[in-house]
Structure formats: structure tokens, C-alpha cells
Amino acid sequence: MIVEFSDELLAKFAEVVARYPQGRQKSALLPVLHLVQAEYGWLSVDAMDKVAAYLDIRPIEVYEVATFYTMFFLQPQGKYMLEVCRTGPCCLVGAERIMKHIEQRLGVKEGEVTADGLFSWRGVECVAACGFGPVLQIGPEYTFYENLTEESVDNLINELKQKSQQG
């Protein structure tokens, strides 16, 4: 995917870069990648190369970082990426059951995209909400859904479907 950053996005980049001392603009890499991903849904090589050019660093420095952190997608995902916590404490209260249910309900395996392009799901490691498990989050704003049951997951999926039809 070839991208061209809008003026609005570039203004946001500049705001981020201003947080660091002169010459330390590489510090802006993670926040800038988040901004780019929020805009396009994922990080294409072209987008990463343009981030590198903007921050005056080598492209490989961007690839190294983008592949290290789990929040960055290097390929397109469903419009809604359901991320279910799969770590110990959530599993004590049924996270594995919820993931199974989501898999059946959406009809796609972990990491795949539904045919309508709306949904993907994956298990993620502890999201620091163990007391309210099972939990899931949806980017780019990482809206949080707690104390999940099969029923609440169904409702959520229906809501999101409706929302995308309206939007």
C-alpha cells in the first residue's frame, strides 16, 4: 500500500517530535507508528519507509521496531480486531472458552479476517485487567470490554456489525 501522509497527520507527527530534545526525534517512532496505524489500519513497507524519511532514520530501524512490538500490524486486519486476553488470570475465569466462542461465532481462525472484512480476532498476552476478566479490547482506541460472557460477546459483535452498516 502506497501512502501519502495528510497535512493533518503530519501536524500530529510534528507535535509528537516536539516532546523530545533536539536530535532525539527517533523517540517519536512508536507514537508516530501508532498514528499511522490508526489512519491506515496497518503498516505497509511504504508507510514505514516514509516514517523513516520523516524522522531521518534508516528504514531498517523502523522495521526492527515495528516487528518487535505486538501492537503493530504488518498486514491488513479486519476493521475490528478483537483482542482477547489469554494469560493465566483471565484463563482462570474462562478466557479460553470465550476465544473458542469467538472463533465459532466469526467462523475464522485466530489472525484471519472474516469474508466481509469486518472482523479479526487474536489472543493477546496480559492486558492488565485481570480482576475484570475475561476481557477484550478493540483498537485503535483500545476500547475495553470486561467480564465477558458468550452472550455479551454476541451482543458486541452484533453492535459492531450494525455500527459499520450505519457508518
Partner 1 sequence: MARKLLLTHIDVPGIQSFEVYRQKGGYRAVEKALKTMSPDDVVEEVKKSGLRGRGGAGFPTGMKWSFLAKPEGVPRYLVCNGDESEPGTFKDRFLMTHIPHALVEGMIVSSYALGANTSYIYIRGEMMPQIRIVEKAIAEAKAAGFLGKNILGSGYDLEIHVQPGGGAYICGEETALLESLEGKRGNPRIKPPFPAVSGLYGCPTVVNNVESIAATVPIVNDGGEEYAKIGIERSTGTKLISASGNLVRPGVYEIEMGLPMEEFIYSDEYCGGIANGKRLKAVVAGGSSVPILPTNLALKTAKGESRLMTYESLADGGFVTGTAMGSGGFVAFDEDQCIVRNTLNFTRFYHHESCGQCSPCREGTGWMEKVLHKIEYGQASLSDVDLLWDIQQKIDGHTICPLGDASAWPVASAIRHFRDEFEWHILHPEEAQTRNFGLAHYADPLVTT
Partner 2 sequence: MAEEEVKFKVTIDGIPVDVAPGTTILNAARQIGGDIVPPAMCYYSKLEGSGGKCRTCLVKVSKGSEKDPRPMPKLVASCRTTVMDGMEVQNITSPDVLEARKGVVEMLLINHPLDCPICDQAGECKLQDLSYEHGVADTRYEFERRTFERIDIGDKIQLHMNRCILCYRCVYVANQLTEGREHGVIHRGDHSEISTFIENALDSDFIGNVIDVCPVGALTDKTFRFKNRVWFTKPVDAHRDCPTCSGKVTLWYKGEEVLRVTGRKDEYNEVEDFICNTCRFDTKQTSDWVLEEPTPVEKESVITANHYAEFNPPPVIKENPALQVANAEQLARTEKLK
Q: Which residues bind partner 1 (CB under 8 A)?
A: 19, 21, 24, 26-31, 33-34, 55, 57, 61, 64-65, 68-72, 86-89, 91-93, 96-97, 124-133, 137, 139-144
According to CB under 8 A, which one of 45, 91, 118, 130 is a site residue for partner 2? 45
Per partner kind, with CB cut-offs from 5 to 8 A, the member of partner 2, partner 1, none near residue 47 is none
- Under the binding rule (CB under 8 A), the answer on residue 68 touching partner 2 is yes
* Sheet order of strands, 136-138 included: 119-124, 80-85, 136-138, 143-145
Non-local CB neighbours of 9 within 8 Å, separated by 6+ positions: 35, 36, 39
Phi, psi of 6 (to 5 degrees): -70, 165
Site for partner 2 in 74-133 (CB under 8 A): none
Cα–Cα dist 94/53, whole Å = 46
Cα–Cα dist 122/136, whole Å = 10
Rounded least distance, CB 63 to partner 2, Å: 4
Spatial contact of 121 and 103, defined as CB atoms under 8 Å apart: yes
- Under the binding rule (CB under 8 A), the answer on residue 63 touching partner 2 is yes
Closer to partner 1 by CB, 97 or 105: give it: 97
Please name the helix (run of DSSP H) or strand (run of DSSP E) that holds residue 85, with its range, or none.
strand 80-85
SS3 80: strand
Per partner kind, with CB cut-offs from 5 to 8 A, the member of partner 1, partner 2, none near residue 24 is partner 1
Binding site for partner 2 (CB under 8 A): 45, 58-61, 63-64, 67-68
Which residues contribute to the annotated binding site for [2Fe-2S] cluster? Answer: 85, 90, 126, 130
